[in-house]
Amino acid sequence: MVTGVTEPLQNIVPKFFPVSQPSITEREISNVTDAVRSGWVSSLGSYIDAFETSFAQYCGVEFAVATSNGTTALHLAIEALSIGPGHEVIVPDLTFVATANAVAYSGATPVLVDVDTDTLCINPEAVRRAITPKSRAVIPVHLYGHPAEMEEINAIAAEFDLFVIEDAAEAHGAEFRGKRVGGLSNCGVFSFYGNKIITTGEGGMITTNDAALYQRARSLRDHAMSPTRRYWHAEMGFNYRMSNLQAALGMAQLERIDEILKHRRDLMGWYRESITTTEEVRLNYVAEWASSAYWMICLEIDWLDDKLRDKLMGELKKNGVDSRPYFCTVSSMPMYEMVPCRVAWRKAGIGLNLPTYFDLTRNDVSTIGAVVNDLLIRLGPR
């Protein structure tokens, strides 16, 4: 029975806190069961349409295209904008590798630029410096749930006639100057992986106000099949469809997104009261123009290096607290190897993410905070 309650289904073994876990309630189970029972188990079915319509509405845009995951949503958006060989796409050096990979899949070249010290998002001035006659687009990433400086990025893009694709995979519901991400530029791209703000298991979405882009993305998602002649394909498309089962899960999650985001704001507050910060030990920065989705609690410690961070993470784990390092810079990876971007490189070495999920209580956070404080005193410089 759907009661709207959000109690976890089972209690996790006490005293181990993973970095992330999805919040699955009776509402999700009921939706997915309904979708399975209906027989519409593939990519036709009422949940797909409902999920696309509702998610578009949530982001304040006219159109949305559901996909099999966030990476395919990124690639599909790039293809639908006819970006390919001979083009350059500007991407932040500090991001999940999928942002750069999606560009490379299209045959275009990802150009890596530095991020802002505070927001960790792409630095608009670095974008400007990276523009060449081959530049076609820029992909700001709303990293760890904090929106990028979209006003400056959009202005630069307008000046140089570039497309802007928001990588909002980690930032559902985040706001730039009071406007939700996903509707701030040519298109937005979301992920519904199990550890994202809301999940469909695997899944993704493109959001846009551009009717032509919407039509082209829809067509390419389904092998570019002719609407008038079945099994006729005038160009090479993809199978990047989302299933009705995934959309059923997504609908239940979307109905709960307000409480999920509120809980994340509460979590952030609890972490701020539990962890002792200094100039050298910082939690998530939030710009005055931003409302973060707080995808991940971010802890930066200036005196960490790779070895010390590994030690800290190992000690945290022994004390029941899982953590993960910040993303590695894309520029350090063999397939993209280039001169590293200074800020991205520095941040990648001193940051880690702490447990961030719906079932964490204030008490849990206070326990985690005490463990962190104690370790920072023991491992820190004297």
Ligand X SMILES: *Cc1c(COP(=O)(O)O)cnc(C)c1O
98 forms part of the interface with ligand X (CB under 6 A): yes
110 forms part of the interface with ligand X (CB under 6 A): no
Q: In what order do the strands lie in the sheet with 175-176?
A: 179-180, 175-176, 290-291
The least CB distance from residue 355 to ligand X, in Å, is 17
Torsion angle (degrees, nearest 10) of CA 156, 157, 158, 161: 130
CA 38 centroid distance within chain: 31
80 vs 375 by CB, closer to ligand X: 80
The least CB distance from residue 78 to ligand X, in Å, is 12
Cβ pair 186, 158 in contact under 8 A: no
Stretch that binds ligand X, among 15-23, 164-172, 281-289, 343-351 (CB under 6 A): 164-172
Return d(Cα 345, Cα 342) in angstroms, integer: 5
Contacts of 202 (CB under 8 A, 6+ apart): 68, 69, 192, 193, 194, 246
Stretch that binds ligand X, among 155-163, 167-175, 247-255, 347-355 (CB under 6 A): 167-175
Return d(Cα 359, Cα 21) in angstroms, integer: 8
Contacts of 238 (CB under 8 A, 6+ apart): 72, 75, 76, 79, 220, 221, 223
Phi-psi region of 4 (alpha: psi -120 to 50; beta: other; left: phi over 0): left
243 forms part of the interface with ligand X (CB under 6 A): no
Q: Hey, CA dihedral for 312, 313, 315, 321, is it positive or negative?
A: positive
70 vs 182 by CB, closer to ligand X: 70
Stretch that binds ligand X, among 93-101, 125-133, 213-221, 245-253 (CB under 6 A): 93-101
326 forms part of the interface with ligand X (CB under 6 A): no
294 forms part of the interface with ligand X (CB under 6 A): no
Q: Which residues pair with 63 in a beta bridge?
A: 208
Cβ pair 213, 79 in contact under 8 A: no
Closest residue to ligand X: CB criterion = 70
111 vs 312 by CB, closer to ligand X: 111
167 forms part of the interface with ligand X (CB under 6 A): yes
147 forms part of the interface with ligand X (CB under 6 A): no
193 forms part of the interface with ligand X (CB under 6 A): yes
The least CB distance from residue 175 to ligand X, in Å, is 18
23 forms part of the interface with ligand X (CB under 6 A): no
Number of residues that bind ligand X (CB under 6 A): 14
191 forms part of the interface with ligand X (CB under 6 A): yes
By C-alpha distance, which of 175, 170, 113 is closest to 150?
175
Pick from 45, 110, 183, 204 the residue near ligand X by CB under 6 A: 204
141 forms part of the interface with ligand X (CB under 6 A): yes
25 forms part of the interface with ligand X (CB under 6 A): no
The least CB distance from residue 4 to ligand X, in Å, is 27
Contacts of 288 (CB under 8 A, 6+ apart): none
Stretch that binds ligand X, among 82-90, 91-99, 217-225, 373-381 (CB under 6 A): 91-99
32 vs 181 by CB, closer to ligand X: 181
Cβ pair 90, 111 in contact under 8 A: yes
70 forms part of the interface with ligand X (CB under 6 A): yes
Beta-strand relationship, 88-92 and 109-113: parallel
The least CB distance from residue 39 to ligand X, in Å, is 27
23 vs 69 by CB, closer to ligand X: 69
| Residues binding ligand X (CB under 6 A) | 69-71, 95-96, 98-99, 141, 167, 169-170, 191, 193, 204
